[in-house]
Each structure stands twice: as structure tokens, then as C-alpha cells.
């Protein structure tokens, strides 16, 4: 069977790096269709670099990223933007922009000079705001919002792109625990609606709980991938993160829960 069947987005023989510094060499990766794929690994393992390559932000030094069978760098940028959405780590909300205006900018790949704001654009933007729970913030300025609200607005903008694939680079960084769960629940909802979602996450327990497909990386290599229950073992976590731990069942979800070994005990 063809190894790339059932995957619209995959990378073949990727060598990735910045300037002269190579981060990953000869990497093969496939994102299973309709999965919630989460990439985990220690700092500087190349997980964000891989996501940047998959979303065509970074051009591989060798190898290629294929979207629906074509080299992603050869496809017209707007066509890619109608298939694959990305939430980058750093986005700038322009001065004085409202939530509705920012979300509306997600429609750019569907618009043109003579088709600036169709009825479809209008409908999709309201739907995107409704499904991320920011509809009641529509007329507020983005600068006034809390971190969690702002992240939902950016996700709404990516949703307005109406792409079957959605890539998120550390969407929960800088959020408190309640907002982290809120954003991840939102992503799980988008996945349940039939989208393929790919995210880079730091928190292993979140990764294990939400992912349907887990990719563990270390030193620019994929160490393991598959269902969280198979990938997330105590030996594997120690191998990847150099962290002795116990893995138990999450009492809420039954997914693996990593409990780091106690090296220092606080006396009672």
C-alpha cells in the first residue's frame, strides 16, 4: 500500500534549518487525514520548525512538503491558504482593530479586488465568531481583550479561512490553565467537525488527552508516533525528555497521564 494514502499533507526527506544551522535531516512525516495530530518534544527539538515547514513558512533545504500531492511551494499562495490554515506563534493585532474586522481578514484568500466582501464572507465570519464564542465581542477592540479571548479571536480568523487543515503553533502558550483547556476544547471541537488539526504543544498531558495521533520528536528526529496510549510510556518519556516518571491513567479521560518522579519531597 502507498505510504502516503490517507494523508493530504506530508513531508518527504525534509532537511530543515535556518541559515547554516541544520535542525532536522531527512525527516519523513505524514499527517493522517481527519486526525488531531499533536507534536511534542523538548525545547529546540525541531517541533516548531517542522510545523513551519508543513505550513510553508519555512522552505526546506532538501526534500519537499506535499499538499494534495503537489509541492506546497509551487502551489499558488492563495490556493494553499484556502486548504491549509495556520495560527502562528506571533501575530500582531493592528492598532485600533475590532474583533469583527480582524476575523474578517481571514477571508482574504477567498477575496479579490472586485470581490471584496460577499454574502458568504459575511456568513462565514459570523459563524467563525459564534463557534469560537467571540460573537458578543465583535465590536470590541482586540487590544482590550484578555489573553484567552485574544487567542480565540485569532483562531476565529484562521477558521474564517474555511480550510480543511488547520495548523497551530503552541496555541496555549502564555495562557492560564483554564484558558488552555478552553482553547484545546475548541480545537477538539473543530476536529470533531471533520477538520484535520495539527498542533505543537508543550504539555504532555494535554497532548495525550486531546491528540488522536501523537508525534514525539527529539534532536530533529521523530522518535515515536501513533496513538497516545502506545506512544506515551514511561520509558519513552524518559528517553525523549530525560525525565524519570510514572505514567498512570488520567482519571477523567483514561488517557496517559505523566507524573514526574519526585526527587525532592516537601516535608509535611
Partner 1 sequence: MSVLRTSGGLSVAYRPRALAVGSGCLLLALLGALFTLASGGGDYPLSVDQVLSTLIGQGNPADAFIVREVRLPRVATGLLVGAALALGGAVFQSVVRNPLGSPDILGFTQGSAAGALVAIALLGGGSLALASGAILGGVGTGLLIYALSWRQGLHGYRLVLIGIGVTAILTGVNGYLLTRAQISEAARAVLWLTGSLDGRGWEDVLPLLCAMVVLLPVVLLGCARALHMLEMGDDTAYALGVRVDRVRLAALAAAVLLVSFGAAAAGPVAFVALVAPQLARRLTKAPGPNLLPAACLGSALLVLADLVAQRAFTGHELPVGVITGVLGGGYLVWLLATERRAGRI
Residues found near partner 1 in the complex (CB under 8 A): 19, 55-57, 76-82, 85-86, 88-97, 101, 104-106, 108-109, 111, 113-119, 158, 161
Minimum distance, C-beta of residue 39 to partner 1, in the bound complex (Å)? 17
Q: Which is nearer to partner 1, 119 or 264 (CB)?
A: 119
Q: Which is nearer to partner 1, 101 or 219 (CB)?
A: 101
Minimum distance, C-beta of residue 86 to partner 1, in the bound complex (Å)? 4
Q: Tell me the CB-side half-sphere exposure of residue 64, using CA atoms within 13 A.
A: 10
Minimum distance, C-beta of residue 133 to partner 1, in the bound complex (Å)? 21
Q: Which of 38, 18, 60 is nearest to 170 (CA)?
A: 38
Which three cell numbers, joined as nine digits, stand for 28? 519523513
* Alpha-carbon span 179 to 147, nearest angstrom: 8
* Alpha-carbon span 34 to 8, nearest angstrom: 10
Minimum distance, C-beta of residue 109 to partner 1, in the bound complex (Å)? 4
Q: Which is nearer to partner 1, 49 or 255 (CB)?
A: 49
* Per-residue CA distances from 140 to 96, 149, 150 (Å): 10, 11, 11
Question: Which residues, at least 6 apart from 185, have a Cβ–Cβ distance to it below 8 Å?
Answer: none
Minimum distance, C-beta of residue 51 to partner 1, in the bound complex (Å)? 11
- What is the number of residues in the chain? 268
Minimum distance, C-beta of residue 142 to partner 1, in the bound complex (Å)? 9
Minimum distance, C-beta of residue 213 to partner 1, in the bound complex (Å)? 22
Q: Which is nearer to partner 1, 105 or 202 (CB)?
A: 105
Rounded to 5°, the CA angle 133-134-140 comes to 160
Q: Which is nearer to partner 1, 93 or 175 (CB)?
A: 93
Q: Which is nearer to partner 1, 113 or 268 (CB)?
A: 113
Q: Which is nearer to partner 1, 99 or 217 (CB)?
A: 99
Amino acid at each position: 500500500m502507498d505510504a502516503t494514502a490517507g494523508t493530504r499533507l506530508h513531508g518527504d526527506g525534509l532537511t530543515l534549518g535556518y541559515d547554516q544551522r541544520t535542525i532536522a535531516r531527512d525527516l519523513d512525516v505524514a499527517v493522517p487525514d481527519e486526525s488531531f495530530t499533536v507534536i511534542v518534544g523538548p525545547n529546540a527539538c525541531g517541533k516548531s520548525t517542522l510545523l513551519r515547514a508543513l505550513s510553508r513558512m519555512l522552505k526546506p533545504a532538501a526534500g519537499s512538503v506535499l499538499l494534495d500531492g503537489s509541492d506546497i511551494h509551487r502551489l499558488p499562495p492563495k490556493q494553499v491558504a484556502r486548504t491549509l490554515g495556520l495560527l502562528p506563534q506571533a501575530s500582531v493585532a493592528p492598532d485600533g482593530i475590532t474583533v469583527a474586522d480582524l476575523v474578517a481578514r481571514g477571508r482574504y484568500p477567498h477575496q479579490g479586488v472586485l470581490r471584496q466582501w460577499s454574502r458568504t464572507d459575511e456568513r462565514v465570519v459570523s459563524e467563525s465568531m459564534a463557534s469560537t464564542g467571540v460573537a458578543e465581542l465583535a465590536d470590541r477592540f482586540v487590544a482590550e481583550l484578555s489573553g484567552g479571548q485574544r487567542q480565540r479571536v485569532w483562531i476565529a480568523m484562521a477558521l474564517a479561512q474555511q480550510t480543511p487543515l488547520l495548523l497551530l503553533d503552541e496555541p496555549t502558550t502564555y495562557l492560564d490553565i483554564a484558558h488552555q483547556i478552553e482553547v484545546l476544547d475548541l480545537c477538539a471541537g473543530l476536529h470533531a467537525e471533520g477538520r484535520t488539526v495539527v498542533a505543537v504543544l508543550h504539555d504532555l498531558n494535554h497532548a495525550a488527552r486531546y491528540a488522536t495521533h501523537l508525534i514525539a520528536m527529539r534532536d530533529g528526529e521523530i522518535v515515536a508516533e501513533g496513538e497516545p496510549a502506545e506512544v506515551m510510556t514511561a520509558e519513552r518519556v524518559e528517553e525523549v525528555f530525560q525525565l524519570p516518571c510514572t505514567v498512570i491513567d488520567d482519571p477523567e479521560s483514561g488517557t496517559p497521564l505523566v507524573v514526574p518522579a519526585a526527587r525532592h519531597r516537601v516535608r509535611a
